[in-house]
């Protein structure tokens, strides 16, 4: 069975029995994994793992100690737009759940649709809009598919991330992330629609992973590094190159927050 093959391979390379948290790094944010002193496994070596094929992502799983937590860090993720599979991250999330993770922190780069949220700033995701018509649980045959999403973004994790952000002096906005399938960027009309509908940022990832994580019983925290204003809101013409070049600005802030978050992390069951 492929899940036990993947878990077995990973277990053969790590010293720890279980992990606490999985962390998925978005475009241009991959360098954060370098801080972890642990096993580094290419996705290509893990049976059944999808290969992240987007430039700016580093297709490796790094597992080890980060601050007070045992973590599995995904240097990159596969997106819906690569193969047209909304559940493409299901298997990797099942693997980390099987390794014992109870929590997943998702990061991404995103475009802002609000003038008060500017490129280079961070936005904590507190809710999302999914008008894509897609859902990673379509085809799931069990009643478990009817996942409640009223508190998809865990308030306890959100609070701890905010405390970490305040401690390191890197304030985060809070807002609603809107999933567009990509890979083309949005049109100016879609950005105006998002503003009216209550979105604060737009991006091409994360939402299917949040749904899958909740399906698997994992608690979720999520942060966007804002790389650009949405289409039509500035004179910049949008490209992957542009967003990749802007990502390191947010990455420095995000690294500081995540380092503090994990430094003060209390594993479940610890008192």
Would you tell me which residues interact with ligand HPA (CB under 6 A)?
A: 109-111, 180, 185-186, 202-204, 227-228, 230, 238, 243
Residue nearest to ligand HPA (CB): 111
- Residue nearer to ligand HPA on the CB measure, 28 or 75: 28
Run of H or E including 23:
strand 21-24
How far apart (Å, rounded) are the C-alpha atoms in residues 176 and 14?
37
Least Cβ distance, residue 201 to ligand HPA (angstroms): 8
Residue with smaller CB distance to ligand HPA, 15 or 184: 184
Q: How far is the CB of 45 from ligand HPA (least distance, A)?
A: 29
Helices and strands in the chain: count of H runs, count of E runs: 7, 9
The answer to whether 227 and 122 have CB atoms below 8 angstroms apart is no
Q: Which CB, 107 or 243, lies closer to ligand HPA? A: 243
Tell the smallest beta-carbon distance from residue 228 to ligand HPA (Å).
Answer: 5
Longest dimension (CA), the chain: 52
Contact status, residue 78 vs residue 89, Cβ threshold 8 Å:
yes
DSSP code of 200? S
We find the least distance from the C-beta atom of residue 44 to ligand HPA, in angstroms, to be 25
Q: Which is nearer to ligand HPA, 38 or 182 (CB)?
A: 182
Tell me how far, at minimum, the Cβ of 191 lies from ligand HPA, in Å. Answer: 8
Question: What whole-number distance in Å separates Cα of residue 190 and Cα of residue 196?
Answer: 10
Give Cβ neighbours of residue 33 (< 8 Å, ≥ 6 apart). Answer: 25, 40, 58, 60, 62, 73, 75
């Amino acid at each position: 069975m492929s899940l036990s093959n993947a878990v077995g391979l990973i277990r053969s390379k790590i010293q720890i029995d279980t992990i606490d948290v999985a962390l998925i790094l978005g475009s241009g944010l991959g360098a954060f994994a370098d801080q972890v002193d642990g096993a580094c496994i290419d996705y290509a070596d893990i049976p059944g793992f999808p290969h992240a094929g987007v430039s700016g992502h580093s297709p490796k799983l790094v597992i080890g100690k980060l601050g007070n937590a045992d973590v599995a860090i995904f240097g990159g993720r596969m997106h819906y737009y690569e193969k047209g599979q909304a559940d493409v991250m299901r298997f990797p999330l099942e693997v980390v759940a099987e390794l014992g993770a109870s929590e997943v922190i998702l990061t991404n780069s995103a475009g802002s649709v609000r003038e008060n949220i500017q490129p280079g700033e961070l936005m904590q995701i507190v809710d999302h809009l999914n008008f894509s018509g897609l859902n990673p649980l379509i085809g799931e045959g069990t009643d478990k598919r009817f996942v409640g999403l009223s508190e998809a973004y865990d308030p306890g994790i959100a609070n701890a991330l905010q405390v970490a952000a305040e401690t390191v002096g890197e304030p985060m906005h809070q807002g609603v992330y809107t999933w567009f399938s990509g890979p083309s960027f949005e049109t100016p009309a879609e950005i105006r629609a998002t503003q009216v509908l209550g979105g604060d940022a737009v991006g091409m990832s994360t939402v299917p992973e949040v749904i899958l994580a909740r399906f698997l019983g994992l608690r979720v925290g999520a942060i966007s590094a804002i790389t650009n204003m949405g289409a039509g809101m500035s004179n910049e013409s949008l490209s992957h190159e542009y967003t990749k070049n802007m990502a390191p600005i947010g990455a420095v802030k995000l690294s500081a927050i995540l380092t503090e978050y994990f430094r003060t992390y209390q594993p479940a069951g610890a008192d």
